[in-house]
Every structure is written in C-alpha cells, then in structure tokens.
Structure 1
Amino acid sequence: MTVRVGVDFGTAFTKVAIRAGADLVPVEWSEVTGDDSETGRYIVPGFVVRSPDGEYCWQRIKGSDIQGNLKLSVIEKAESDECPISTVAYLALVIRYARAFLYRNTEVGRKLAGRSLRWELNIGCPTEPHEKPEVVDMFRRIARTAWRLATRINLQESDIKAAWVADESDTGLETEPGAVPEFVAHIAGYLTSPQVKEGLHALIDIGAATLDVATFNVVLQNEQISPPRIPIFFSAVRPLGTHYLHYNRHSKLDLELSWNDAAPIESAGEFGERNGKASEDVIAVDGEFAEQIERCVTGVINGTRINSRGDPRSRAWREGLPTFITGGGSSCDLYRQATVAVEAELKLRVEKRSGSSRHFRFIELSPTFGSARRIDTGGRLTVALGLTEDAENIARVVPHRDIGPITYGTKASVDHSDLYGD
C-alpha cells in the first residue's frame, strides 16, 4: 500500500494529512498540545524544546530552551551547508507522531496490519522562495534527514548533526521527498476537478505568520493525460499573517503582548469591547495594517497586468480574475475588506486603460474537492490535503525565471472573394 504523508510546514503552525490507499487521514495533535477544539486540534505550534543535555522534544522542562522561527531561518540560510538542527528535530518529531497516529487510527490502522507500506513524503514550500533551487534542495535535505531520524527514540543534537553530514540516500522512502509550492498544493483538488479552467489565476493565502500572494497560469495538457503546467508570473511572501495582526493591535493600543494564535480573529468591535478600547481606535490601527496587505496584493496582481513578464493581455482582465482566498485567516473580515479594496482599485485601473465598461471582479473558488470536502477545518488543512497527492502528478511548475513574454496570435483577415469567389 502506498502511504503518502503531506506536511504543511508553517511558520507558526504545522498541519499534516496522510493518504493511505483510498483513505485520507488528517492528523490530530490534541495529545501534544492539549487543544481539542475544532480549529486547534489539527495544528501543532512551530517550536521545539532543547533540554540542557542536548535532547530535542516537545515537553517543557526546567532549564530547557524553547526554539522557534524554524521555517524562515532555513529559507534565509538556504545557501549555507550548516545543519538547521532545531528544524530537523522538529520535523522528525512531527513525522514520528504522524506515523504513529496513522497506526492508531481505528479505521485505517487495522488495514495496515500485515501489509508492506511504500512511504512517500511531500513538504510544502512558500511560492517565492521555491523559485530558488537552493531553497528547494534545502527543504528536501531537511525532509529526508528528519524522516531517518524519526525512528529514533531520543533526538540528541550530536545524532542530528551526524545524520545531516552523512546525508544518506537510503531513507526508507519510495522516492525523494517532494518540495511542492504551497499554492500548488492549495489548488491540487481544483486542478483535477470539472471546475478547472485554463488561463490566468491568483492565490491569496492568509496564514498565521505570512501573507502569500501569487499569480499563475493553468495550462491543461493532452486531454489531462499529462499533469497541468503552472507557469508562475509573480509572487510575494510578507509577514502580514494573523499573528502580526494580533501584534499590531496589541502593540499600537498599548496592550499586553499575549494572545492565542489558534483562535479565530475578532472583529474590531469585539476586540475593542473585550480589551476596553474604543472601536474607532481599533479600526484606525487595523486600517494601517490593511494598507500593507493591499500594497502586497496589488503589487503582485498589477505587476502581472502591466509587465511583459506577466500576462497583460489575458482575458481575465476583462472577464474576471479567478482567485483563491485561502488559509486560516481567510474568514477574517479585515483581510476580506482589504481584498475588496484591491478589487476596487484594479477595476478602476483596468477600465481607465482599456475603456471597457465591464467590471473587474474576483471569483472565489473552492480549493478542495472530493474527499477533502468532508473535512471541515476552516481552510487550515487545504495545503496538507493537497500534499497527499502524488507530487509528480499535481502539476509541472514553471518558475518565473523560465517564462518569456507571452505572445498571442492575431486572426488573419480573409478576403470575401477568397471565400466565395467573384
């Protein structure tokens, strides 16, 4: 049986889903975190604990060191050969727990007994860093090292360093770990659904730590015998996720810097009432934050519209740009309002330039289909679910650097007499 583990390695939280044959299992982390709420049980915070003797675990003990920022630090140091010890240890713990969770699953566990399992592993990578080969190589090396170490009872710093240096090719995995752009994992279900259409698309992913925006084409191949091609036009990753919305509110309004990143975002009125602040003050603070979101989204989409390395002649500028709005913060009013503001601004620019009276509009598409629909987690598991698909069959990504200016053919005019004679 093929068993594919999809790890959505987030900046603030990690989510995991496993596809075992025909079964799709979202991993629950309540036994690790103690959070069994509907939104919290599918996420595990992105930090690891280092004990005084150099062992890595999740249990907080006296004298231990809690280490976070495990993802962004790796991206920043991708060109270095230095071992990202904390990140490897964290992912080894995640993988070890996820595999055990699968075996303990009441319905799926009994199907695994006596069967030979062919393990595969996919890990998500942010769109913008994915353009850099050294980042992809780093993510794959971390994934395969963590997979090997996940069999260890104890994760000692010395053992992690040794495994990193050895970098053995025999990991027990069926194939090399896949480092899949997160936006591709987001739309994996869409690409195989009847709803899929060719042409320009956009994705706005609102995570706990980052806001990821990307524009890309969907090019269907040979009656879907081959996977779709996904040329990436422009992308951006900014620290504008819900964690920083919380931080902005608390710091600007002189409140204690303490909140629960897993909880739903309150409206300005609710936040002000709970913290004894006027809703007008909260709205003003939120307005400054929303402007940063708008600039990020506008920069990516407008660059695609006017830059020759984008798709300025796409019919999407006339008929509407299909846009995915996903992530744990996608239901937050502030991000929704910022998206509407971007839509209004771009609508004016499109009409001013083309003279068209048609409205520019976002079309929100459902990013999950099939079995994923039965798992309601508010968009938090979309990437993890997409990563349980075969990485080679999701889509063939074409990086921005490999895309030349798009050209469109012109219709040749045919003389009336050529068609009908004299």
Structure 2
Amino acid sequence: MERLAAGVREQAESPRSARSIPVNLGIDFGTSSTKIVARLPYEAGTPAFAVPVPASARAEGHPHLWASQLWLTREGAFSLAPASGAPAFCAMKAALMRDDGDRAIALHCAPWAATAMEAATAFLALQIRQARGWLLTRQQAAFAAGILRWSYHVGFPAASLDREDLRRRYAAVCTAARDLSRMQGALTMDLVRAALGSAPTTQEELERRGIALVPEISAAVAGFANSTKRDNGLYALVDVGAGTVDCCTFGLGDWREEGEIGCPIFMADVAMLGVEPWRSCQDDAELAAFFEKKVAEQQRGVIWDTRQRRHRSSERWRTGLPVFLLGGGAASDMHRRVTAGLDAWLRRSIRDGGGARVRALSVPEEELRFDCRKEETHRLAVAFGLSFPFGEIPKAELPRSIDDDVPARRRDIEASYVSKEMT
C-alpha cells in the first residue's frame, strides 16, 4: 500500500530553516473499528482531516471506520490486508483489556503465536504509518511550509482509568507502536517483540515521543466542551459499541489552570452489553428480556450511585440530567429505548426531579473535513476530540481522586431508592 511506504518517510527535502508544523493524530482504537483524525492545530483554520479508509478495509461500509483486523503471515509478518493462508484477529482491544492481556494468545500462525499486546502494537504501528502516509501524499499543500512535528493522542477506556496495570500495558503498546511506525520494510514479529521488550511506560518517555493517553470520555466531549454550547455541570454518557457499553457520569467546568476545562469522572462502568452480544440473544424472548434488563441496570446503577454518594449536590437532579448517547451501536433500537427510559425512571426515583435529557454528541461539521454523510460524523467524535491540542482536551480527574459527597441520611435513601423489583 502506497501510504504505508510513505508513512515512514521524513521530509528530507525540507530546508533546515523551515518552521515546525505540529500535527496531532487522534487515534480512537476500538474493538470493531478504528478511527483517526489528523489536525493541524496552529495553521489557519486549524484544519482537521478524517483519514479515509480503503473500501476493502471499511467497517460497516463507513468511509472513515477501519475494521480492527490484523493478519499474521507464515513468515511472521503483520498485515492490515488479508494474506494467503494468514489468520485474522478481530478483537485486539478486548483482549488487551483482559486481566491476562499481556499473556493471552491473540493470533496464531504456525510457528508464530502473538499475544494481545503484540497484536495491538503491530496494528497501531501500521495504523500510524498509513495515516501519516495518507497525509504526506494527499495533503502535501498543507505541509509545504515546514517540517512536521507529530503527536499521537490515543483513547483510553474510561472504566479502566483506575487500573495502573492497564495504563502501563497501553503505554508500552503505544510507545512501541510509535517507534515501529517509523521503520522501513515489513513489520515482523521479531521487530514487535524487540520493541515491546524495551518499551518505556513512564510519563516522561511518553511525552518525549509525543504520545498522550487520553480518557475516551474526555476526548468524546472535547468538541462540545470547547464550543459555545457547553453548560458547566454534571453529565452522563452512554457509549454503545460492538461488544461493550461504556457508561459514566462526569462534570464539565473550569479547571485549576486558567483557560483549561476540567472533567471529573464520578462513576464509570463497562460491560459486554454491546450490539453483537445483543444480536446473539434478541430472538429468544426470555434471554432478550434479561439482556435488556442488564443494560438498564448498568445505566441506572452508574447514575444512581452518582446521585446517592458521588455528586448528590448537583443541580442537574432538579433541572434534568443531560445524557449523551453515542457509539456505533447508538442506532440499536433496544439500546436507544433503554437510554430514553432514563427520563421516566429518574422522575419516578427523585421527588420533584427533572429527569434526563438524552442528546446526541455530534462533531462540528465546519471543523472537520470528512467523506461520510453528516449524520454519520458522530462515529468520529472520540477521534475528533483526541486531535485537539492536549491543553484543549478536558482534564480528567480519576474517580479515586474525587471524594464522595456528604452521605444522605438512611431514611432519605429508603424514600427515594427504586429497587430492581420496582423497575
């Protein structure tokens, strides 16, 4: 592929006196698809480009969703395209997040066997390489005035923010992938293992390589938080993916540093309740009813714990809690129905409460150059937010660093709590 070869080239023809042009790659590494948005944050109009995907590699036929698939050849080389006799792996992110993600065999092609970390590293290295190559070959005019300085902002699951082991795993994968993306030739198992074996995970080393691990929730709301539509206060977010549903509550407001936006995350949960698990059981009435109940319990549990102990004092309980619904599975009728039902549930649960207001989290069309239909740009919200300069992405506070609100008295809890049997 032309862009893979171009992605490792540097601008050797540019004079040393040329100015530096920062380029941010926002990489939304997903279970079923990966999205990349490239932004030139300090050029006129701060142009942002959704990196297009070849037709053969598209997920769901979307022009900017690269199916998260990787092939391993008998020669021990990784590929983003099918190769004769090579097996494919399609669940790298899910495998990486498992407790045994650094050991689990993710991809096997005798005599080779790749772990989840090795597969994820190879996939991200090739994605970075192809994205760089596309920009260098298709957007040459934008880069004619200087030498590119690349930064890589990679989304990190909100529900895993308190897991230091997973953060280190992600850090190793990203630093190794960045280094490998700059190498010429085939990406082999030996190269990946060598890169991972020496991959640093400290914050200092990530910064030196231009890498930032960004909570996906902060990235998803970055466009909204930097717009005139932002209203400081408590929010909830439901991100329906192919395999999982991520649900969290968070706040938006002024950060300690002047001009920055804070994003305290009060509660977060991820569960295998996405579209694919739902499709496997929706034709069985009893199983479908049980599955839908679990989806509702997840969303209500996160919101209710926030109400009872994490942010009891928020005005949103009285005026209405805004709930963002996004993700590839947001079109699922069942998931939409459950999220829409939060309004009536909250009104029943909180006396004189304002319920919930479900809203879409769209990408500002005037800020992004894309090839898909306008109604499909919401799939790019996380990658779009990741492409912002790091200082403009809301600063996340981890749940463990946020104190609970003053606990409610026991009789207040009993008066307003809605049990599972009452739903």
Q: TM-score range by the shorter chain?
A: 0.7 to 0.9
Which residue identity is paired with 1:333? D
* 1:206 maps onto 2:228 in alignment: no
* Partner secondary structure for residue 314 of structure 1: coil
Q: Distance in 2 between matches of 1:331 and 1:74?
A: 26
User: Hey, what does 1:371 align to over in structure 2?
Assistant: 366
Note the residue ranges of structure 1 that are not aligned, 5 or more in a row.
254-280, 409-422
Which residue identity is paired with 1:303? D
CA distances 1:262-293 after superposition (whole Å, capped 9, x unpaired)? xxxxxxxxxxxxxxxxxxx6xx7644432221
User: Hey, what does 2:336 align to over in structure 1?
Assistant: 336
* Partner secondary structure for residue 355 of structure 2: coil
Which residue identity is paired with 1:42? H
* Partner secondary structure for residue 260 of structure 2: strand
Q: Distance in 2 between matches of 1:196 and 1:110?
A: 34
User: Hey, what does 1:8 align to over in structure 2?
Assistant: 28
* 1:25 maps onto 2:45 in alignment: no
* Partner secondary structure for residue 117 of structure 1: strand
Which residue identity is paired with 1:360? G
Range 328-337 or range 292-301, more displaced: 328-337
User: Hey, what does 1:165 align to over in structure 2?
Assistant: 197
| Selected match of 2:278 from 245, 262, 269 | 245
User: Hey, what does 1:195 align to over in structure 2?
Assistant: 229
Range 330-339 or range 367-376, more displaced: 367-376
* Partner secondary structure for residue 231 of structure 2: coil
Contact kept, 8 Å, 1:78 with 1:135, in 2: the verdict is: no
Per-residue deviation at 1:83? 7.7
Q: Distance in 1 between matches of 2:298 and 2:367?
A: 30
Q: 1:231 to 1:175 in 2, by over 3 A?
A: same
| Selected match of 2:356 from 357, 361, 366 | 361
User: Hey, what does 1:66 align to over in structure 2?
Assistant: 88
* Partner secondary structure for residue 267 of structure 2: strand
Which residue identity is paired with 1:344? A
* Partner secondary structure for residue 249 of structure 2: strand
Q: Distance in 2 between matches of 1:46 and 1:25?
A: 20
Sequence identity, in percent? 24
Contact kept, 8 Å, 1:221 with 1:227, in 2: the verdict is: yes
Q: 1:28 to 1:373 in 2, by over 3 A?
A: closer
* Partner secondary structure for residue 330 of structure 1: helix
TM-score (norm 1): 0.79
Per-residue deviation at 1:243? 2.0
Per-residue deviation at 1:172? 11
| Selected match of 1:217 from 251, 254, 268 | 251
Q: 1:289 to 1:109 in 2, by over 3 A?
A: farther
Note the residue ranges of structure 2 that are not aligned, 5 or more in a row.
1-20, 104-114, 408-423
Which residue identity is paired with 2:37? A
User: Hey, what does 2:394 align to over in structure 1?
Assistant: 395
Per-residue deviation at 1:173? 7.9
* 1:122 maps onto 2:124 in alignment: no
User: Hey, what does 1:57 align to over in structure 2?
Assistant: 79
Range 169-178 or range 385-394, more displaced: 169-178
Per-residue deviation at 1:32? 4.6
| Count of matched residue pairs | 365
User: Hey, what does 2:418 align to over in structure 1?
Assistant: none
User: Hey, what does 1:322 align to over in structure 2?
Assistant: 322
Q: Distance in 1 between matches of 2:350 and 2:189?
A: 56
Mark the structure with the bigger radius of gyration: 1
Which residue identity is paired with 1:139? Y
Q: 1:31 to 1:151 in 2, by over 3 A?
A: farther
Contact kept, 8 Å, 1:215 with 1:301, in 2: the verdict is: yes
Q: 1:232 to 1:155 in 2, by over 3 A?
A: same
* Partner secondary structure for residue 4 of structure 1: strand
RMSD value over aligned CA atoms? 2.7
Q: Distance in 2 between matches of 1:86 and 1:399?
A: 28
Which residue identity is paired with 1:158? D
| Selected match of 1:301 from 300, 303, 325 | 303
Q: Distance in 2 between matches of 1:185 and 1:232?
A: 13
Q: Distance in 1 between matches of 2:339 and 2:206?
A: 44
Q: Distance in 1 between matches of 2:343 and 2:83?
A: 50
Per-residue deviation at 1:12? 1.2
